[in-house]
Amino acid sequence: MTEVTLVGAGGRNITVPTGLFIDNEFSSSTDNKTIDVENPATGDFLATVAAAQVADVNRAVLSAEAAFKSTWRFITPEKCRTLLNKLADLVERDAEELASLQAVDAGVLYRQSLAMDIPQAVETCRYYAGWVDKLEGQSMKISQGMAYTQCEPIGVCAAIVPWNAPLMITMWKLAPAIAAGNTLIIKTPELAPLYGQKLAQLIAESGFPPGVINILCGLGNVAGQALADHALVRKISFTGSTAVGRRILESSSRTNLKRVTLELGGKSPSIVFSDAALENALLHTTQGITVHNGQICAAGSRIYVQDKIYDRFVAEFSARTKDAVAGDPLAGQKARVTAYIGTALHEGTKLLHGGERGADSAPSGGHFVPNTAFVDVAPTATVMREEIFGPVASIARFNTEEEAIALANDNCYGLAASVFTDDVNRAIRVSNSIEAGQVTVNMWGTVNTSTPFGGVKESGFGRDLGKDALEDWTQVKTVKFNLQGR
Ligand code: NAD
């Protein structure tokens, strides 16, 4: 087994295997194909990991199919719960190593991982461990006698994960999929696969039977596409861009009509009414576009502010965000974000701060762009319409509540939205009128394990988290009895 040793937080050495994790063992890929992983903060080479090819995906699917048929579909709720709780314990035990790995290849701040992403992943694992014996059906009277329904596992499933919060998003899929009785193949992101190599070790250590969870790193258009095309994969849960989501849906329709859950991009609005507690609104709107450098699907990248407080809000917003010290990695996103800033300037959009220059404090070789904000942004401007996935805020004014709702809904995405107001009736009216999978009032973008998360419109369909996600990983069977005699 080949391994790589990396230097984590505090100078500690972390050794992870570099192979594909199939049947609880690490192996190299067909033809020894590999992917080089870089540190986005420095541009330095980090590691080489195996890149799954079509034949390797097939091997992983056959292993998951065998595990489903031979053991996992007969697993008792008690055993399943014990295994998920054990995995949660091990992730918690090795949180510092996982946080270091996400920092060096995904650019997730070490302290953010320790405070947020990893506790969330652990909590998710424990939450779904608690659900394993609570999946209920119904019984009903029918004209012939009686019927009952039961939630059954779907079978071999796959999860495809993006690079921005890889461990947390993986656990949003792994825990409910496994709790519902499925076997799972996880395709980790090629830009940030190292957490997955460590997670694979923890899965084996937890005692999951071979093949129940297989983890493959690989290129999207090779390994991801092979999963999307595979006839034995019965469901794909995908988190990533809308463009790739469309491709996965096409693959499903071309092949075996596998079920598809799509957690896609966003361009989430924040609406700040003049009666809102301004300090709170500023705290949350600035966090909404600067946390993880705006590389969050629910980033509050469109900010609509009521006329009366517009100028004051803009001045305060700028004062709080313009001087951020570059030091937080932006991975390969840099070219994309910089191109959007260039487009905005070209279209004549008014720059408040940031822009193409200004990241002089950044370490050389790294991929950084400064916090950037545009003001008085027209509804038609590219930066107001398209997902940038970086620290770029577009701010515009509104006058009436109706106007704010119309502006917020004037976008193809519908992932999340925030409303800031002290008027509870208005908060409810606006929340109910906004086209988004999640609306937060007087706060931005919280993740709670029990509340479903996902989008409407071109942000996708299906949900992660909560009971809704668990149901997405099951299928209902109806059994009917003729009780009318022979
Ligand atoms: P991406 O779509 O480029 O890649 C996501 C994953 O899909 C990667 O693992 C990639 O290898 C794989 N992939 C690429 N091509 C594929 C193909 N043809 N078939 C199958 N798989 C393929 O996205 P990204 O750049 O990694 O992540 C950023 C995007 O993810 C943003 O749009 C962001 O909004 C979105 N996102 C959404 C959520 C959510 O919950 N809605 C959460 C995080 C990120």
Tell me whether strands 34-38 and 25-27 are parallel, antiparallel or unpaired.
unpaired
225 lines ligand 1 (CB under 6 A): yes
206-265 tens-digit pLDDT? 999 999 999 999 999 999 999 999 999 999 999 999 999 999 999 999 999 999 999 999
In the three-class reduction of DSSP (H, G, I as helix; E, B as strand; rest coil), residue 254 is classed as helix
Is 323 part of any domain? yes
pLDDT at position 329 is 43
Note the residue count of the chain: 486
Q: What's the number of CA atoms in the CB half-sphere (13 Å) around residue 79?
A: 10
Among protein residues, the one whose CA lies closest to atom 14 of ligand 1:
220
326-338 tens-digit pLDDT? 554 434 467 788 8
449 residue type, one letter: T
CATH of the domain at 383: 3.40.309.10
**What is the rounded average pLDDT of the residues 308-321?**
97
CA of 262 to the centre of ligand 1 (A): 10
Q: Indicate if 210 and 300 belong to the same structural domain.
A: no
Among protein residues, the one whose CA lies closest to atom 42 of ligand 1:
297
Is 484 part of any domain? no
Is 452 part of any domain? no
Q: Indicate if 284 and 167 belong to the same structural domain.
A: no
Query: In this model, does residue 480 exceed pLDDT 50?
Result: yes
CA of 296 to the centre of ligand 1 (A): 12
415 lines ligand 1 (CB under 6 A): yes
CATH of the domain at 139: 3.40.605.10
Task: List the catalytic residue out of 263, 387, 435, 458.
Answer: 263
**What is the rounded average pLDDT of the residues 160-177?**
97
CA of 375 to the centre of ligand 1 (A): 29
Is 144 part of any domain? yes
pLDDT at position 377 is 97
Query: In this model, does residue 485 exceed pLDDT 80?
Result: no
248 lines ligand 1 (CB under 6 A): yes
**What is the rounded average pLDDT of the residues 432-458?**
96
Is 156 part of any domain? yes
Is 285 part of any domain? yes
Name, in order, each residue with C-beta under 8 angstroms of 170's C-beta and a sequence gap of 6 or more.
Answer: 121, 159, 161, 186, 188, 195, 196, 199
**What is the rounded average pLDDT of the residues 301-329?**
88
Tokens standing for residue 431? 């929340």
List the Cα angle 433/437/438 in 5-degree steps. Answer: 85
383-408 tens-digit pLDDT? 999 999 999 999 999 999 999 999 99
Query: In this model, does residue 424 exceed pLDDT 90?
Result: yes
Mean pLDDT for the chain?
A: 94
- Cβ 383 vs Cβ 389: under 8 Å: no
Q: Indicate if 297 and 237 belong to the same structural domain.
A: no
CA of 121 to the centre of ligand 1 (A): 19
What span, in angstroms and rounded, lies between the C-alpha atoms of 222 and 120?
30
Among protein residues, the one whose CA lies closest to atom 38 of ligand 1:
297
Q: Which residues pair with residue 478 across a beta bridge?
A: 149
pLDDT at position 331 is 45
Q: Indicate if 15 and 164 belong to the same structural domain.
A: yes
Its domain, for residue 41, covers 3-264+460-477
**What is the rounded average pLDDT of the residues 254-277?**
98
Query: In this model, does residue 34 exceed pLDDT 90?
Result: yes
Residue 263 bears catalytic tag: yes
pLDDT at position 369 is 84
Q: Indicate if 245 and 376 belong to the same structural domain.
A: no
Q: Indicate if 199 and 52 belong to the same structural domain.
A: yes
CA of 172 to the centre of ligand 1 (A): 15
- When divided into structural domains, the chain yields a total of 2
162 lines ligand 1 (CB under 6 A): yes
pLDDT at position 292 is 87
Q: What's the number of CA atoms in the CB half-sphere (13 Å) around residue 129?
A: 19
Name, in order, each residue with C-beta under 8 angstroms of 10's C-beta and a sequence gap of 6 or more.
Answer: none
458 lines ligand 1 (CB under 6 A): no
Among protein residues, the one whose CA lies closest to atom 16 of ligand 1:
220
DSSP 8-42: -GGG-EEEEE-SEEETTEEEPPGGG-EEEEE-TTT
**What is the rounded average pLDDT of the residues 144-170?**
97
Q: Indicate if 218 and 132 belong to the same structural domain.
A: yes
Ligand 1 atom having least distance to the Cα of 219: 11
Handedness of CA 377, 278, 319, 369 (dihedral sign): negative
161 lines ligand 1 (CB under 6 A): yes
pLDDT at position 330 is 36
CA of 285 to the centre of ligand 1 (A): 25
**What is the rounded average pLDDT of the residues 337-350?**
90
**What is the rounded average pLDDT of the residues 130-134?**
97
Q: Indicate if 356 and 435 belong to the same structural domain.
A: yes
**What is the rounded average pLDDT of the residues 168-194?**
98
pLDDT at position 436 is 98
221 lines ligand 1 (CB under 6 A): yes
Q: Indicate if 214 and 282 belong to the same structural domain.
A: no
pLDDT at position 181 is 98
- Cβ 59 vs Cβ 156: under 8 Å: no
Q: Indicate if 244 and 329 belong to the same structural domain.
A: no
95 lines ligand 1 (CB under 6 A): no
35-71 tens-digit pLDDT? 999 998 889 999 999 999 999 999 999 999 999 999 9
**What is the rounded average pLDDT of the residues 350-354?**
92
Is 482 part of any domain? no
% of residues, the chain, pLDDT over 90: 88
What span, in angstroms and rounded, lies between the C-alpha atoms of 155 and 180?
10
Q: Indicate if 274 and 249 belong to the same structural domain.
A: no
What span, in angstroms and rounded, lies between the C-alpha atoms of 8 and 5?
9
Is 472 part of any domain? yes
Q: Indicate if 208 and 315 belong to the same structural domain.
A: no
